[in-house]
Structure 1
Amino acid sequence: MTRLTALLIATGLFAAACGAEVAVTATRSDASAGATAAPPFDPGTPAIEDDGNPDDPPSGPTTTPPVTAPTVSDPNAINFGPNKPARPYDDFLLATLADLDTWWEQTYPAVYGEAWQPLQGDVYAAYPQRPDDLPGCGEPRTSYDDVQQFVAFYCGLADFIVYDDGDDGLLAQLADNFGAGTIGIVLAHEYGHAIQQRSGVLRQNLPTVTTEQQADCFAGAWAGRAARGEGGITFSDADVRAGLIAMLEVRDPVGIDQFAPGGHGSGFDRVGAFQVGFREGAVRCGDLIDNPLPLMPNQFNDNNDFANEGNAPFGFDAGDPETGVGAELFGFLVPDLNLFWGIDAEIPDFIPLTLVPVQSEAEAACADLEPGLQNGAALCPSSNTVFLNEPVARSLYEQDTFGDFSLGYLIGVAWAEAAQRSLGSAIEGEQRELINDCLAGAWVQTVIPVDFQLSQPRAEGRTSIVSPGDLDEAVRTAILIGDLDADDNVLGSPFEKIDSFRDGVIGGLNACAN
C-alpha cells in the first residue's frame, strides 16, 4: 500500500466501488508600486466558448449585482466633502461603516478582552475636485495624488481612514465591474489596521506583510459574517467571488520581496488570509501576529525568470535531453507531473500521461473524455492522454492577469484526476473535483523554490519551479472556472476551489486526505 493510498483510505476519501505606530497603513495596488493595475476579468464565464474559438465573445454576466444593505441612518459617517460627485455605492459604504462599528463593538472584546473604541477621526472620500481639506498623516495635508498611490489608507496618528473615490481609481473600477462589496472589503481591511492600533500591534515594529495579513483576515471575517447573513450587510455568492478578486487586485506586483518594508503579499497570500478569516472568524485572525500564515515566494528566481516576467515560453519542446535547457512550458511541466505522481507520490500503478494539443473539442478522439476541455484541458482515461484545448490555452497564456501557470493549474488538475483513478477513487461529483484541486496544490508544493518555507524534497530529474505570480494565476483560473453559485455543486465554487488548492499547497498530500 502506498503512502498516499493509506492516507486516503484511513480518512474515508477512497472506498471500494502599512507601518508602525504612527505610519500610514495602506491598501496596496499594482499602481501604487509604479506598475499598471491589472484589468478586471469576468469570473463567471469561460475564457473561450466550447468550440475553442478565441474570437467568440464570452457569455454570462459581466458585472455582479450590488450587495444588500440596510437603510442608512447616519449620512455623516463618511466625510464626503463639499464637491463630491454622487456614487451609486455611497449609501452602501455608509451602511458598511455602521455595520463595521456594530460588529467590532461585539467582536473586539472576544478577540482582545477589552471594549471597542470607535474611530476618533473621520472616514474621508478623496477625489480630484475636493479642496485641500484632507488631513495629513505626519504632513500638513494629504493630496489626492497621494491617495491614488495608496488606494485607501489608515493613519494611526489621528485615527482616520481615507479612500480613493475618483472616477478612474481602482476602487471605482472594482465597484463598476464586481459590485460595491469590493470597496466594503477594502474598508473592512483598513478597519483591521485601526484594530491593530488599539491592540498595540502597530507598536511592535513587525514586518508590514504580517500586519497586512492580519488585516486581510479581519476583512475576511467581516465578509464571512455578511455571507452568513448575520449582520446589517448581506453578501451573495457573487459578492464573495468579488471579494476574492479584490484581494488579487491589491496584491504586491510580481518581483517584489514581500518581506521587505512595505510588502503586502502575493495574491495567493492575501486571498488565503481572507479565506482564513472568512471560515474561522476574527478570533483566529487575532492569533496571526504570533502564528502568521506561510507566505509564497514573490521574487524572480534568476535573470531569465526576470526577463520573461515569470512566464515560460508557450510550447511543447522538451529542450536539451541532457540538461533540459531551452524547454518550453509543457516540455517541462508534463515530465515533472509524471515524475511527481509516479515517484514522489508513490503510486506504483500510475501510468505516465501524454499531453496532446487539439484545436477544438471535436479533435479530441476519446470515448470517455472527462469534462473540462472547454476550460482548457481534460483527461482521456482510456488512452492515458490529457487533451489541451490550444486556442483556450493560448488565450489564457497571453492575458496579463493569467499567464503560464493558469495552464499549469489546469493540467495539474487533469493529472490529479488520473491519480485518483490509479488509486481506485470512488468519490464522485463536486467532492472529487475539490480533491483534484487539493492534489494539484500538493504537486505545486513540491515545485516551490528550494529553501523557501514550504519547499519539499523532490525526485531526481524534476526541474519545474514556480515563479512569482504563478500561484496568483492559478487562483484567478479557479475563479474563472468555478461554479457561479455555491449551490451548483459541480466543480466547486471559486472559494471552495481556491480553499482546496491552497490546502494542498500549504499542507501537501496529507492535507488532501483530511
Structure 2
Amino acid sequence: MKRWTILVSLALGLAGCAATVDGVAQPVDPTRVAGLEIADGPSGLKPGVLDAGLPVVGGDGGEIDRLAANAVADVQRYWREHLPATFEREFRPLATLVSYDSAGRDRVVCGAPTAGLVNAFYCAGPDVVAWDRGELLPSLNDSLGPAAVMAVLAHEIGHAVQFRLGLPAASPSIVKEQQADCYTGAYFRWVAEGRSPMFQVSTGRGLNEVLTALFRIRDSAGVAFDDDGAHGNAFDRVSAFQFGFTDGPARCAKIDEREIEGRSTQVGSGSAAENVRLDDRRALADLTTSLRQAFRLAATPPTLTTGAACGVTAEDALASYCSESNQINLDLDGLVRIGTPPRRGRQGGIGDFAAFAEVASRYTLAVQQEGGFRLDGPVAAQRTACLTGFWASTLVDGRALTLSPGDLDEAIAEMLTRNSLIAADVRGRTLPAGFARVAAFRDGFFSGTQETCGEKYRA
C-alpha cells in the first residue's frame, strides 16, 4: 500500500463477463464456476489411461516427462478439434518436444543454454516446445499438483497456436503471453467439462492449482505491461485465463495491445511500496478513511476495534463484523502476520494489501446490511468479494490510501488460500472455488459502482 501517487490506472467500463438483460446484471450462481458445478475431485491423468507415446528428445522416461508428454498430447487433441471449428484452420502437431535438466549437463535448445534455465518455452522457427524436468515441472507438481504442469504446457502450446494463426512475430510480449494464458483457460474448460479422454480437473481445488501457478510465474512488481518480455501481473494473467475458460478461444484472439491497455492493472513502474503494518495507528486511520470515502453510509459507519471476534465459525478469521454493536473486531497480530510479505528463506504472510483487504471485506458487510442484504451464505460471500474489489478501485491519487505495484496480486494470493476472508460471508465461510472468488472481486474492481455488486450477486 501507499499513501501517495497512483500507480494503477482503472478502466471502469470493462466489467469482464457479466451477463446483462435489459441493462440489468444477471445473478451468478455461487454453486457454479462459469456455469459448471463446483467440485473438488482429483485432477491429473485419469486412472488407467495409457501413455500417448509422443517422442521426447532428451527425455529420461521418468514420471515428469511422461506427465508432460501426455499433457502435450491432450492439449493438441483439444486444438485439433477447436482450431478448425473456431478459426477454420487445421492444427498441425508440434514438430519436436524437448526435455532437459536445468541442473544437469548443459545443452543448447533453440539457441539457449539449458544450464540453470528453469523454464518451459516455445520456439516458433523449429516449432519446438521444451521444458525443464529437473526443477520447474517437479516443483510445480510437488507443491501444487499435476494441473499446474498441465497449465504450463497448455500455455506454451498456446504460443504454437498463435504461430499457426499468423500472429505477427513483432507483437508485444504482453499480447503473446496473455493470449496464451487465455488459450490455456479455453483448454481447461474442455477438460473440466469431462471432454478430455486423458485428463480431469476439478473446478474447485484443481482450478486453484492452475491459478496459483499463474500467480507464481507472474511479473514482479514494477514491471509495466508494455515492457519487453512482460507476461502480466497475477491479476491480469488470471483475468486472461478466466476469459478463455468462460468465453472460449475466439475471445482469446481478440486480446491485443489496445484491449490490454484498457484493462491492465500493470501500467505503473517502480518497485513495490514499503510494507504498511496494520498495528500502526495511522495505517488503521487511513484504512478507515478510505472505506468511508468508498462507501457513503446513511447510518453511523462501523468502528474498528481489537475486541474479541464474534459470529464467525471459520478457523483463523482475523477480522469479524458484529452487526449488533456495529464493530469490526480485529486480530491485529494475525493481520500483521498475513500482511508481512514472504522473503526468500524466511517465513512470511502475503503482503499488506491482503491484510487491508480482509478488513475492508468486513466493512462491506455493514454496507450490505444497510442495503437490506443477507450477510450469510455463499451469495453474501460473492457480494463481499465484489464490494471489496470496488473498494480497491477507489484507492486512487488524493485518497487516504493508493494502490502500488503488487497490491492486487496480494489480493489474488489471499483469495487462493483455504480460508480467504475477502470472499467470505459474515461467519467467515468462504466461497468454495478460488475461480469464483477472483471473478467476483474483478467484477467489483471494474464496475465503477457498488450497485453492480448488489445487482449481480443477489439471492
Instruction: Compute the TM-score of the two structures, normalised by the length of structure 2.
Output: 0.80
1:126 to 100, 103, 107: 100
Tell which structure's C-alpha radius of gyration is larger. 1
Per-residue CA deviations over 1:151-193 (Å, capped at 9, x if unaligned) read 1111112110111111xx2432221011121111001000011
Identity of matched residues, %: 27
Q: Distance in 2 between matches of 1:375 and 1:298?
A: 33
**Displacement of 1:474:** 0.8
Give the aligned partner of residue 159 of structure 1.
127
Aligned to 1:312: 276
Unaligned runs of 5+ in 2: 1-22, 28-40, 343-348, 421-427
CA distance in 2, matches of 1:230, 1:310: 47
In the aligned structure 2, how far is the partner of 1:490 from the partner of 1:188? 33
Is the contact between residue 279 and residue 332 of structure 2 (CA under 8 Å) also seen in structure 1?
no
Is the 8 Å Cα contact of residues 217 and 273 (structure 1) preserved in structure 2? yes
Identify which range, 390-399 or 222-231, moves more after superposition.
390-399
Q: Map 1:20-419 onto structure 2 (within 5 A).
A: 67-69=44-46, 71-81=49-59, 84=60, 86-87=62-63, 89-120=64-95, 122-128=96-102, 131=105, 134-136=108-110, 139=111, 142-145=112-115, 147-148=117-118, 151-166=119-134, 169-203=135-169, 205-232=170-197, 233-236=199-202, 237-289=204-256, 292-293=259-260, 294-297=263-266, 299=268, 306=271, 309-318=273-282, 328=283, 330-342=284-296, 347=297, 349-358=298-307, 363-364=308-309, 366=310, 369-371=311-313, 374-400=316-342, 402-419=350-367
d(CA) in 2 for partners of 1:312, 1:129? 38
Does the CA-based 8 Å contact 2:103-2:116 persist in structure 1? no
For residue 436 of structure 2, what is the amino acid of its counterpart?
A: E
In structure 1, what residue type is equivalent to 2:62?
A: A
2:394 to 437, 446, 452: 446
Tell me the equivalent position of 1:455.
Answer: none
Tell me, yes or no, if the aligned pair for 2:100 and 2:114 is still in contact at 8 Å.
yes
Partner Cα distance (1:76, 1:395) in 2: 47
- In structure 2, distance between residues paired with 1:130 and 1:374: 43
Root mean square deviation of aligned Cα: 2.8
Letter in 2 for 1:223: F
Gaps of 5+ in 1: 1-8, 14-63, 319-327, 451-460, 484-488
Asked whether the equivalents of residues 141 and 148 of structure 2 are also in contact (C-alpha less than 8 Å), the reply is yes
Across the two proteins, how many residue pairs are aligned to each other?
401
CA contact (8 A) 1:251 1:267 kept: yes
Q: Deviations over 1:265-309 (max 9, x none)?
A: 1111111111111122212212223763411136456xxxx4x74
Contact 1:71–1:95 under 8 Å retained in 2: no
> Is the CA contact (8 Å cut-off) linking 2:42 and 2:201 kept in structure 1?
no
Q: How far apart are the structure 2 equivalents of 1:474 and 1:114?
A: 39
Distance, in Å, in 2 between the alignment partners of 1:123 and 1:12 is 45
Alpha-carbon offset, residue 11 of structure 1 = 5.7
SS in 2 for 1:355: strand
Q: Is the 8 A contact 1:298 1:467 kept in 2?
A: no
Of 396-405 and 237-246, more deviation after overlay is shown by 396-405
Q: Please list the CA deviations of residues 372-418 of structure 1 after superposition, one character each: whole Å capped at 9, or x if unmatched.
A: 57232111111221111223212211242611011122112111111
| Cα distance change of structure 1 residues 11 and 260 upon mapping to structure 2, 3 Å threshold | closer
Greater RCO (Cα-Cα under 8 Å, separation 6 or more)? 2
Runs of 4+ in 1 over 6 A off after TM superposition: none
Q: Distance in 1 between matches of 2:106 and 2:280?
A: 57
1:416 maps to a residue whose letter is T
